[in-house]
Structure 1
């Protein structure tokens, strides 16, 4: 399938109706921008630019708090008018840090998974079922670790999770995969099970060199467009550019879109 350009993404975004899902992934770096300032409302403005009704987030700071201090996820929900679903992975006395999801689509179910590895920073996946014009779509938001062995462990957990899903359920896996090598095993395993995920450079935002942020869709043929969101605001707001996709939800099917589990993930 041809991966469309940002211009084509805009054309499709304007032409397609509510039966299509516009979805994004964005590592917001705790709201810390290129200037070193923490400005969560600047992140909200970038999310508004995306024009997506579902946005998976990573590195959301202060998902909740025991004080009157504004919580980042609450601010994002208020500023964007979207419903927030928290998937915190690091919990402190004054709040939490981790994955989240913003959505304009109805939420059908929420599950949270621990992907933490040994003594490394806790990691996880947020699994949310959303309704897209009557079709349930499972969205999995994740942020993998910095060490190769850690990422392999986490992808094995992800693949086991995917293996147990109904074959006719549309699935979107998105997030900051932290895989710097285009042929790294975690990417190859995910490509093998979900189909190839297009790549565009997203990190660092002001001079992108690495395609760390990905969107996989099952079935693969339902992915119509994919692009990194390159605007002046996005280059300033975080150290990652967001990525966005347009999907036409439909039942998954056996065949080239769905591959077997790698041997490591079957153990």
Structure 2
């Protein structure tokens, strides 16, 4: 298997706790993730004064020396004639080759008021060496579970025709165990913390792992589980309490490590995993 490091990070258009938008600082934090494929949320492209009308996707690609593709979830007309459209949305950065890309707006729940902003999913096919991976980057609604449920169902429909290894990552605005994300597990997706199997633990596993299956130690693991969930929390960045930024795998993709990045300038922490692509 071929190992890639993958990450998701909501960058809040480069806005830090000091009230400054500093994309160079954000780029340094992204570089420190050490990832081959990175999904970003809340990225501006000529959006307005808050980010100095900067084309953040292009600038991040330049600063990091990576391939980049952008998917606008919010696409507004320019403030003045001759200026670019004001866009905001999702980015995929990679050290590998981007074979194709598409952005899809996600559905809403018909029985609820429209959310404050549209949501989308950026789908790119990435090739590194002789391996290819379908990558989906998303940012779900933050108001409540109803729209998130509809949006996840939209992602499930989009992904149903993907035959090879697939990775879904983003700011879900919900814990992996939330009911609105249940259709992911029901259609073969595995959340990275549940799918994590270090290579030396694969198969039958070492003796200590078998011992951990004994009933008393199973109970100990159940007690420790909430502490592990807290350790993997990503939001808010200063004192993380919720794991709302997550990675999901399917199609033979295996996960050997999962970690949360140290606090940076965003209000989220990044989540980073090592995935193994089958031959």
Are 2:253 and 2:277, in contact at CA under 8 Å, matched by a contact in 1? Answer: no
Question: Are residues 111 and 216 of structure 1, via their aligned partners in 2, closer, same or farther at CA, if it must alter by over 3 Å?
Answer: same
Question: Are residues 226 and 246 of structure 1, via their aligned partners in 2, closer, same or farther at CA, if it must alter by over 3 Å?
Answer: same
- Structure 1 residue ranges, 4+ long, deviating more than 6 angstroms after superposition: none
Task: Tell which structure's C-alpha radius of gyration is larger.
Answer: 2
TM-score, normalised to structure 1, is 0.78
Deviates more, 1:86-95 or 1:41-50: 86-95
C-alpha separation in 2, matches of 1:72 and 1:114: 21
Corresponding residue to 2:135 among 135, 139, 144:
139
Residue 75 of structure 1 aligns with which residue?
Answer: 59
Residue 98 of structure 1 aligns with which residue?
Answer: 89
How far did 1:70 drift? 3.1
C-alpha separation in 1, matches of 2:162 and 2:251: 13
Residue 207 of structure 1 aligns with which residue?
Answer: 239
TM-score, normalised to structure 2, is 0.75
Residue 269 of structure 2 aligns with which residue?
Answer: 241
How far did 1:191 drift? 2.5
Corresponding residue to 1:185 among 179, 188, 205:
179
Unmatched 5+ stretches in structure 1? 1-16, 252-267
How far did 1:114 drift? 0.9
Q: How many residues align?
A: 225
C-alpha separation in 1, matches of 2:46 and 2:40: 11
Deviates more, 1:30-39 or 1:41-50: 30-39
Are 1:35 and 1:236, in contact at CA under 8 Å, matched by a contact in 2? Answer: no
Are 1:21 and 1:132, in contact at CA under 8 Å, matched by a contact in 2? Answer: no
Residue 195 of structure 1 aligns with which residue?
Answer: 190
C-alpha separation in 1, matches of 2:179 and 2:75: 30
Residue 224 of structure 2 aligns with which residue?
Answer: none
Aligned: 1:86 with 2:70: yes
Question: Are residues 122 and 69 of structure 1, via their aligned partners in 2, closer, same or farther at CA, if it must alter by over 3 Å?
Answer: closer
Please give the secondary structure, in 2, of the residue aligned with 1:60: strand
